[in-house]
């Protein structure tokens, strides 16, 4: 069994091989955490390296009386991803189709959806309410039905679950669970 505390002390004393051991141990743990929590993206390996570099930079601040090293590393990973998400500029989109109803929202399944850049709605305050990248738009449009995407769009535009349920002849709890 590897003694992490010993590796930490050796790393702080300038032993590069000790840090390499820490890196190799935690590379997979951080990678699994990122995949589970944030799914895969093209920057995944870069994120793992950046996080473990931050661990190295902050190693002198680690206090074993406050938390286990594993917990401390995962907390650095979590904070890194939060900071990274704050730096990204969201992309706001609207959904349109060949069949229109109120507010140009299509509700037919026979048409192919298209996406257009729009100004963010004035009530939109949370990044949770936005679709942040064009990659996620492609992923979403290929994975869910047109009706589900329409429900998601209506929800992001401020419609209540009750209004969405009426539009799709469903009940409010089903819409709430779906969104």
Q: What is the CATH number of the domain that holds 70?
A: 1.10.1740.10
Same domain, 80 and 121: no
Same domain, 41 and 65: yes
pLDDT 10s digits, 90-119? 555 555 544 444 444 444 444 555 555 555
Provide the number of structural domains found in the chain. Answer: 2
Same domain, 171 and 104: yes
Same domain, 118 and 45: no
**Which residues are within 8 A (CB) of 155 and not within 5 positions of it... i.e. 6 or more apart?**
161, 164, 179
Range of the domain at 80: 4-87
Same domain, 76 and 105: no
| Lowest-confidence segment of 20-29, 45-54, 82-91, 112-121 by average pLDDT | 112-121
pTM above 0.85, yes or no: no
pLDDT value for 53? 92
Same domain, 160 and 103: yes
Same domain, 116 and 136: yes
pLDDT 10s digits, 38-76? 776 667 788 899 999 999 999 999 888 898 999 999 999
Cα–Cα distance for residue pair 106/14, rounded to 1 Å: 62
Cα–Cα distance for residue pair 35/103, rounded to 1 Å: 37
Same domain, 109 and 80: no
Same domain, 40 and 17: yes
Same domain, 99 and 173: yes
Same domain, 79 and 132: no
Same domain, 19 and 46: yes
């Amino acid at each position: 069994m590897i003694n992490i505390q010993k590796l930490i002390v050796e790393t702080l004393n300038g032993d590069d091989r000790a840090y390499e051991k820490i890196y190799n141990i935690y590379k997979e743990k951080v990678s699994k955490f990122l995949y589970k929590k944030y799914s895969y993206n093209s920057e995944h390996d870069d994120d793992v390296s950046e996080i473990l570099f931050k661990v190295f930079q902050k190693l002198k601040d680690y206090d074993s009386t406050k938390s286990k090293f594993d917990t401390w590393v995962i907390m650095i990973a979590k904070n890194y991803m939060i900071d990274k998400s704050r730096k990204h500029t969201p992309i706001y989109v609207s959904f349109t189709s060949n069949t229109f109803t109120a507010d140009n929202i299509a509700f037919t399944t026979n048409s192919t959806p298209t996406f257009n850049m729009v100004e963010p709605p004035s009530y939109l305050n949370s990044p949770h309410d936005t679709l942040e990248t064009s990659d996620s738009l492609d992923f979403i449009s290929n994975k869910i039905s047109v009706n589900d995407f329409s429900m998601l769009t209506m929800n992001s535009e401020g419609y209540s679950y009750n209004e969405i349920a009426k539009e799709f002849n469903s009940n409010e709890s089903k819409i709430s669970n779906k969104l």
